[in-house]
């Protein structure tokens, strides 16, 4: 059975105290929920990771990073390594978010290196990808997604996919209020599974969790999550409010 996951990407939001409060409130809000086979994840900014890990201890909530550098160490001012994250109890890292691709010029090639670093360190990634609006309008969305996956991930072995969570995030739906319809999400998730099966095996394809991200809210979460190939969501804006995030978790 595939693991269900609801992950909140906090982006450049929340001070140390605000992060602690949000985690504490979330802990309370979900403590009596039956969340069998469901992971609840939050991704605070780097400086608040260590304190967030402490606050989330002995709870269902996992704290993950929003990014990581591929090098072990060296002259990379402003960057953070896998080893540094592991040392504070962070085992999972979001990679390839569209905002990193757009504003920080992250390429598929750099992401392939980052994924290798994740695996060398026995960590896990939530790997994001998705097409631009112009790609979808030009009917190139399947092609774009296939090339993003193939460039950054398809050098891996099938067994490596145990450490990979995929997050399909059409860029036109991130932070815009515009969501892919549940049918559009299902269609793309089924396509992703089919190309993984073609490249690897049915077992690898059946076992990888594929999250949908892009303006998921309490009002649309249940319908999106009801689709057979959607295993949960990567949530931006709605993850900043405990009530909304809890409602989305309940919808899984
Ligand atoms: C995201 O940043 O990954 C995201 C999906 O954002 P939002 O939910 O705000 O669209």
169 included as an active-site residue: yes
**Does 214 sit in the ligand 1 pocket, CB within 6 Å?**
yes
5 phi/psi in degrees, rounded to 5: -140, 135
Q: State the CATH number of the domain containing residue 154.
A: 3.20.20.70
Cβ–ligand 1 contact at 237 (below 6 Å): yes
DSSP one-letter code for 122: T
Q: Which residue has the tokens 């999550």?
A: 225
- Atom 4, ligand 1: which residue's CA is nearest? 236
* Residue whose CA lies nearest to ligand 1 atom number 6: 236
Cβ atoms of 135 and 174 closer than 8 Å: no
| Ligand 1 lined by 85 (C-beta under 6 Å) | no
Q: Whose CA is nearest to atom 1 of ligand 1?
A: 236
Structural tokens at position 243:
């009530």
Residue 124 sits in which domain range?
A: 4-251
- Residue 203 exposed, middle or buried by CB count within 10 Å (0-12, 13-18, 19+): exposed
Tens-binned pLDDT, residue by residue, of the chain (252 aa): 899 999 999 999 999 999 999 999 999 999 877 788 899 999 999 999 999 999 999 999 999 999 999 999 999 999 999 999 999 999 999 999 999 999 999 999 999 999 999 999 999 999 999 999 999 999 999 999 999 999 999 999 999 999 999 999 999 999 888 889 999 999 999 999 999 999 999 999 999 999 999 999 999 999 999 999 999 999 999 999 999 999 999 999
- Ligand 1 near 8 CB (within 6 A): no
Q: State the distance from the centre of ligand 1 to the C-alpha of 213, rounded, in angstroms.
A: 6
* Pairing assessment for the beta strands 4-9 and 232-235 based on DSSP bridges: parallel
Which protein residue's CA is at the shortest distance from atom 8 of ligand 1? Answer: 236
Instruction: Please state, in angstroms and rounded to a whole number, the distance separating the CA atoms of residues 76 and 50.
Output: 21
**Number of domain units in the chain:** 1
């Amino acid at each position: 059975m595939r693991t269900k996951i609801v992950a909140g990407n906090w982006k450049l939001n929340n001070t140390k105290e605000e992060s602690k409060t949000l985690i504490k409130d979330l802990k309370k809000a979900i403590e009596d929920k039956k969340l069998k086979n469901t992971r609840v994840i939050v991704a605070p900014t780097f400086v608040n990771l260590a304190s967030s890990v402490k606050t989330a201890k002995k709870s269902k909530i996992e704290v993950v990073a929003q990014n990581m550098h591929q090098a072990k160490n060296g002259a990379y001012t402003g960057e953070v390594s896998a080893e540094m994250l592991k040392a504070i109890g962070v085992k999972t890292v979001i990679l390839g978010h569209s905002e990193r691709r757009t504003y920080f010029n992250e390429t598929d090639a750099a992401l392939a290196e980052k994924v290798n670093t994740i695996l060398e360190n026995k960590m896990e990634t939530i790997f994001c990808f998705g097409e631009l609006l112009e790609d979808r309008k030009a009917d190139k969305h399947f092609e774009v997604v296939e090339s993003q996956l193939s460039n950054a991930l398809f050098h891996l072995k099938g067994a490596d996919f145990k450490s990979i969570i995929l997050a399909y995030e059409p860029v036109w739906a991130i932070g815009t209020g515009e969501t892919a319809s549940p049918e559009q999400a299902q269609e793309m998730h089924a396509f992703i599974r089919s190309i993984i099966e073609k490249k690897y095996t049915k077992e690898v394809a059946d076992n990888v969790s594929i999250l949908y991200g892009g303006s998921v809210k309490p009002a649309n979460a249940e319908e999106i999550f009801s689709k057979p190939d959607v295993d949960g969501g990567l949530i931006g804006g709605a993850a900043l409010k405990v009530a909304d995030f809890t409602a989305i978790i309940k919808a899984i």
